Every structure is written in structure tokens, then in C-alpha cells.
Amino acid sequence: MRTSARRPTDHVRVLIVKLSSLGDVVHTMPVVHDMRGAHPDALIDWVVEPGFAPLVRRVRGIHGSIECALRRWRKRWWTSAERYDAIIDFQGLTKSALVARLARGPRYGLANQTEGASHEWPARWLVHHPIEVEPRIHALDRARVLAAKVLGYEVQGPPVFGLRPHPLDTIERTMVFVHGTSRDDKLWPEAHWIELGRRIMGEGWRIALPHAGAQERVRAERIAAALAPAADVWPAMSLDSLTDRMGAAHGVVGVDSGLSHIAVALDLPHVQIYNFPTSWRTGPLASHGHAYQVSIEGTPTPDVDTVWDAWCRVWTQSREAVRA
């Protein structure tokens, strides 16, 4: 907190404003652990769009989630009378800053855009205290640095997401293929998925294919048909249930998408595929302590051999970590 009178052990009430998207919400999760490390008795609420609220409620240390349905905006949806010691807009957009204004307490947010991230200039003027952050910074680090500057502590150690899956029954050794993404230019060719799947199946694994929407379902069915009988198309399910299913799997290969970022948060062995040189700002990094999670880049896309080699290294490292 930006006041010398407040000690790190004092009780504080904090409101996180991070409405969407899935990957952005996941990258903000470690601030909860950081805040609670500096202020063990902190009460931390989070304003988020309804689709991501079940995920936020799983984060260890969250006091409450406040659902904000922007697409069904209604006057007076905000009914909380709580006063917060800090309201932090991690999104940096006009809509998130306006949501932050509805709460009672001092408002903090980003003073500047960071490379590759969305930012709208009115957001700076809609908070009481705009905070400057390094312009070239990973999305996860940006959130951690902003929270630390607001609450007066130093960022320490690797990120801890605190995302808790509900335990499921043990399943066969399963690799999840996160093949879907919101942008076509982030996709990996279907032929690559099929070739990678054959190599993984040759090691005794099963392949699981989640999907969101009709187009992804059709793609998943084509890949599964080529890999039958050791590939399964998961049924449509909520994000809550999907997190549990992924948490029970043994590894994930995926494109740059929200589900791949969930794999990172669940600490699963993971290879994340990038068609652009942008993994430095959203992908798993060794500097974050991700010993068995890596990003692979390629132009126009990484080839199968590169992804396969990366997976073999990741799997070996994860097994070594278990034995250590």
C-alpha cells in the first residue's frame, strides 16, 4: 500500500479487477499468493466475467469473486458496500477502469502500455494512482510488479498460481492436445498433430482432445479418427470441469491459448507452441521456475521434430523432479 503507516502484517482488503480473457486471468492468479505473503490476513476479492468466476474461486487465498457480466450490463449490478484499501485495475482498459470506479476505495492501475498488451489511455485517468511498469515485460510479471508497487512489497520467488483442481480418479497415461485457439494464425497444422500423436501413442500414451465450439469439435474428431483407437474427443464441458480433467492428465502440448496457460498453472509437463516470436511475453519461462514447461517458436510454425524433442526433454525433466 502506498502509505508508510501501513505495516506488512496489517489486515488489508484488496479488490482485483481483471475481467477477462482466460489467459489474462490465469496470468494474474499469482498476485494472490504474493499479496497473502506480504499481508497474511488480507481479504482479496476479484471482479471477473461470469465465465471465468469458477476458476477464480479455485485460487487459494481468494476471499470472494464478484461476477461482472459486461455483455448484459445492468445498472446497479454492483451492490457491495465494502470499502477497500486498494482497488487494482490489472486490465488497463476503459471498461475495467469504469468497473473499478464502482467500488469504494483508492484506485490503482497501469500508467502505460506494455509491449504486445492491450491498453487504453482513458484507463490511466480513471484511477487515482497510475503506476508505471517496465514496457517490455511478461504478462505474469506485469501483474506481480503492479501489485507489489501498490501494496509495498518486493516480488520474491517464482510465481505460485494457487489453482486447485478437484481430484479425479486416476486415468491412463494421457496427453492433452490443446489444438484450439481464438486466432487462426496461432493454429498448428492438423497433419502435425496427427504425426505427433502417433509418436506419443507409440510410447504407450492416450490422446485427449478438448474443444470449444463446433469448429474445434470437428477438428478434434478428424484428429481422433486419424489416431484411433487411442484418441478420445472429450465431450463439451464447463471450464470448471475441464480444469479438473486436465489436472488428472499427465502432460499437455498446446498452442498459445487459455487452456495451455491453465496447464502451466496446474504445473503439468507442457510444451506451448508459438507461430510468432512472442513466447517471452505470455509463455512458460525458465526464469519463472518452469523446469518442465517450455515454449517452442517457429516460422511459419514449429515442425513436428522440434515439438517432439521438446516434449521428450520435458517429460524426462518431470520424471527427474518426481524422483528428486
pLDDT in tens, 6-32: 444 458 999 999 999 999 999 999 999
- Using one digit for the tens of pLDDT, what is the confidence trace for 105-131? 999 999 999 998 888 988 989 999 999
Q: What single-letter DSSP state applies at residue 46?
A: E
Q: pTM here?
A: 0.93
Pick from 177, 189, 176: nearest CA to 301: 189
Q: Would you place residue 322 in the very low, low, confident or very high pLDDT band (cuts 50, 70, 90)?
A: confident
* SS3 at position 305: helix
Asked if pLDDT for residue 167 goes beyond 90, the answer is no
Q: What is the pLDDT of residue 31?
A: 98
Separation between Cα atoms, residue 187 and residue 203, nearest integer Å: 25
Element (H, E) at 49: none
For the chain, list the strands marked E by DSSP.
Answer: 13-17, 43-48, 62-67, 86-89, 107-110, 129-131, 174-178, 206-209, 231-233, 251-255, 270-274, 293-297
Pick from 285, 294, 295: nearest CA to 315: 294
Return the axis-axis angle of helices 190-201 and 304-323, rounded to nearest 10°: 40
Q: Who contacts 23 (Cβ-Cβ below 8 Å, separation ≥6)?
A: 139, 257, 258, 261, 282
Total count of residues recorded for the chain? 324
